[in-house]
Structure 1
Amino acid sequence: MKLMKDQKIMLVDGMALLFRAYYATAQSGYIRRTKSGIPTNAIYGFVRYLWDAVQLYNPTHIACCWDVSSKTFRTEEFAAYKGNRSAAPDDLIPQFDLILEVTESMGIPNLSAPGYEADDCIGTISRELEADMEVLILTGDHDLLQLVDERTSVIIMKKGYGNYKVYTPESLMEEKELTPSQIIDMKALMGDASDNYPGVKGIGEKTATKLVKEYGTIAGILENLDQLTPSIRKKIENDLEMLHLSHRLAAIHREVPVVCSLDASLLLLEDEIILTKFEELEIKSLCSMLGVGVF
């Protein structure tokens, strides 16, 4: 189906929003709960974050992508991948299933693919749809900057509601002096402490960026090892296997088994369904923000 060029889809990194929403209130010591004790602070904050972005960027379609398990093709390649992350807080765990019910009540499809991360789903969907419509990616994860192109923008959430940085190829080059694909090369060299893979030991972001800017790609760097300082050359040669592994871990896969239906992702709120779910979770105060139940 060929769409009008003024249509655009917002692909939401679900876990990024949910965790951000949880910690935004949990750090103050206050956890919003229903009368029966069910925690809802992450759900409440998620809807606020999401709708703020919807109102600001006006997508015609929206879909949420989720991580469904800790075991992926990346953990098969590198068992320690994300192995440094602590378990989710007890008050957040019951909100994982509830948030899916909330997004469904809003008519937003929840998408995932076993063995892959939400990033891979977002990458696959953006590639499939960007020829026919503008794609907006809402996240707090800078890994997704590798997906930026002329039809896909990455919206990075900053601290607080309504605070964003929008990355296009131009703004990415202006800020980081790198192309989207070079984000992968940089991360392969420097590693990622959050995802728990090391890259090349002894090479940090500054050196990694300098090397990628000068030689273009990992392949370009390896072809010019004799041009590097003895120290940098030795570090790369000693960690060559990990460099290639880190590159595979950093790269978002864009051919995963996930489908985003444009009919299902059309942004169309059904008042009665939303009111029922929001009343159940005692977050009805959010309905006015959504324009639901207001006549």
Structure 2
Amino acid sequence: MATNKVLLVDGMALLFRGFFATSFRGNFMYTSKGVPTNGVYQFLRYLMDSVQKFEPTHVICCWDMGSKTFRTELYAGYKANRDEPPKELIPQFDLVKEVVEAFNMPNVGLENFEADDCIGTLAHAYSMENEVTVLTGDQDLLQLVKENIRVAIMRKGQGNYEVFDQGNFYEKKGLSPKQIIDLKGLMGDSSDNYPGVKGIGEKTAIKLLQEYETVDDLLNNIENLPKGVQTKINANLEMLHLSRSLAEIKCDVPISCSLDTSKWNVDHVTATNKLNELEFKNIDRWFITS
């Protein structure tokens, strides 16, 4: 029986969400030295809220380590549609990791891989003997759902989560978690900038996978598909396979993180010192009672 409850945090998802939730009003928050802190402040609010909600025994934060990964080598257009981060966000990338460290949580990341791959690898390893909750805003991570792994997608407003687990997944998505990879292969992903099969959208892709289960079985039965769908798939076969590779989260990257180092055990003195350094006003009292 799983006893530990591990929370794996998609750090960039929380930081970006926190930054843009406050910056659209021009509320960047600056220290007296002129360092912007709005993203870090909001990141902490999201994090503490999730700790209250999911009551983990262990917490680990995973990060992207730059924009170049094995996926950009596979496909130069991968995420190429994304703007440079705003100048007020850039100093907060290092700052947020310092705060995570001050709260006694490990920061995990690996060059050439995305945070998703680190989350997938750790989730897979921990789920053998522990309950794992993945906290993110990213639907790609839904493919990780299985026994002892659930994914909490952050929804609009603080404290709103849609939790996907083995029991409710099919009812919510009409597919199994593993089929999410093939779904992305067929329909592509506009936010990650890969097209899948041009002309096949989500509804058609779901219908095809409900009927044939996998892309491989679909291709084995291609002559049974409507002529229009056959034409689209044949014209985009290479991109279909490539999109599937881009969509699949690696669960075997060379990282590890001992659970002993990630117990949720905040040293209030260290954490408060860091928050005072950032000149946060009330958050120290707020997090200590959480």
TM-score by length of 1: 0.96
**Does the Cα contact within 8 Å between 1:275 and 1:284 map onto a contact in 2?**
no
Shift of 1:170: 2.4
**Does the Cα contact within 8 Å between 1:123 and 1:252 map onto a contact in 2?**
yes
- The 2-side partners of 1:11 and 1:46 are apart by 14
- Runs of 5+ consecutive residues of structure 2 not aligned to the other structure: none
1:191 matches 2:188: yes
- The 2-side partners of 1:9 and 1:288 are apart by 25
The structure 2 residue matched to 1:50, chosen from 36, 47, 52, is 47
1:168 matches 2:165: yes
Deviations 1:84-128 (A, max 9, x none): 000001100000000000000000100011100000000000111
Deviations 1:117-145 (A, max 9, x none): 00000000011110110000000000000
- The 2-side partners of 1:74 and 1:43 are apart by 28
Deviations 1:220-268 (A, max 9, x none): 1101111110000010011101100000000000110111111110110
Identity of aligned residues (%): 52
Shift of 1:76: 0.5
**Match of residue 247 from structure 2:** 250
- The 2-side partners of 1:8 and 1:132 are apart by 10
RMSD: 1.1
Deviations 1:148-200 (A, max 9, x none): 01200000000111000000122221111100010000000000000001100
1:277 matches 2:274: yes
**Match of residue 257 from structure 2:** 260
Shift of 1:32: 1.1
**Match of residue 232 from structure 1:** 229
Letter of the 2:215 counterpart: I
Shift of 1:51: 0.4
- The 2-side partners of 1:148 and 1:207 are apart by 23
- Runs of 5+ consecutive residues of structure 1 not aligned to the other structure: none
1:80 matches 2:73: no
- The 2-side partners of 1:126 and 1:14 are apart by 15
- The 2-side partners of 1:48 and 1:25 are apart by 12
- The 2-side partners of 1:16 and 1:80 are apart by 21
Secondary structure at the aligned position of 2:120 is classed as helix
**Does the Cα contact within 8 Å between 1:43 and 1:99 map onto a contact in 2?**
yes
Secondary structure at the aligned position of 1:256 is classed as coil
- The 2-side partners of 1:154 and 1:91 are apart by 30
Residue range with higher mean Cα deviation, 87-96 or 25-34: 25-34
- The 2-side partners of 1:234 and 1:83 are apart by 28
Secondary structure at the aligned position of 2:282 is classed as helix
The structure 2 residue matched to 1:62, chosen from 56, 59, 80, is 59
- The 1-side partners of 2:286 and 2:130 are apart by 27
Shift of 1:11: 0.3
Letter of the 1:211 counterpart: L
**Match of residue 178 from structure 1:** 175
Write the mapping of 1:51-130 to structure 2, written as runs, cut at 5 A: 51-130=48-127
Shift of 1:6: 2.5
Secondary structure at the aligned position of 1:169 is classed as coil
- The 2-side partners of 1:6 and 1:161 are apart by 28
1:134 matches 2:143: no
- The 1-side partners of 2:99 and 2:282 are apart by 14
Secondary structure at the aligned position of 2:52 is classed as helix
**Does the Cα contact within 8 Å between 1:137 and 1:152 map onto a contact in 2?**
yes
Shift of 1:284: 4.4
**Does the Cα contact within 8 Å between 1:65 and 1:110 map onto a contact in 2?**
yes
Letter of the 2:67 counterpart: S
